[in-house]
A = this chain, B = another copy of it.
């Protein structure tokens, strides 16, 4: 209650009219540029202006800012999921998990404010961590963690949702550092040390 303000209907559908399709593409294109420059909190008005459409048109295509973010990240998310699925076949269960976690952090770092946007939308009512459009990421991450536990290289106490929440938190904490990539790596190191079974150092 109160959380589901977004309609599920025509959320990302490809419009039928040619001009509408072109507008949609231009909006996504300019959103990418604006997100890269100002982060995902970039002005929607300016994105519409740069795309050469009125603000109402942006809202017609993307009812909420998150819908626009989703469109911008579509392929990227697919790649992260595929990477994870591939890593499930890696014989080094611990290394595979770490590699994927590193990629997940890099994903969350792709635009400033992204971790916050995902996290805010992710906190659905109740226990669920991840919103619909990030559910695949959650699944893959959970699978890698489960495999690590099953093979004994990962501690059994760590909850999947907590670990992924931590990944988001790490990206958030590193996003404005001058050396954000190295910063994120160090923080991820702290997390990974806690996940490893059998003693640190």
Contacts and interface: CB of A to CB of B under 8 A. Distances in A.
Contact of A187 (B169, B183, B195): B169
Interface residues of A, number: 39
B155 A200 contact: yes
A155 to B, nearest CB: 6
Contacts of A157: 189, 193, 201
Q: Which of A173, A189, A196, A197 has the most CB of B within 10 A?
A: A173
A131 interface: no
Contact of A194 (B173, B183, B194, B198): B194
A176 interface: yes
A190 B199 contact: no
A182 to B, nearest CB: 11
A151 to B, nearest CB: 15
A3 to B, nearest CB: 11
Given A155-B200, A200-B199, A120 B191 contact: no
Contacts of A165: 173, 183, 187
Nearest to A127: B178
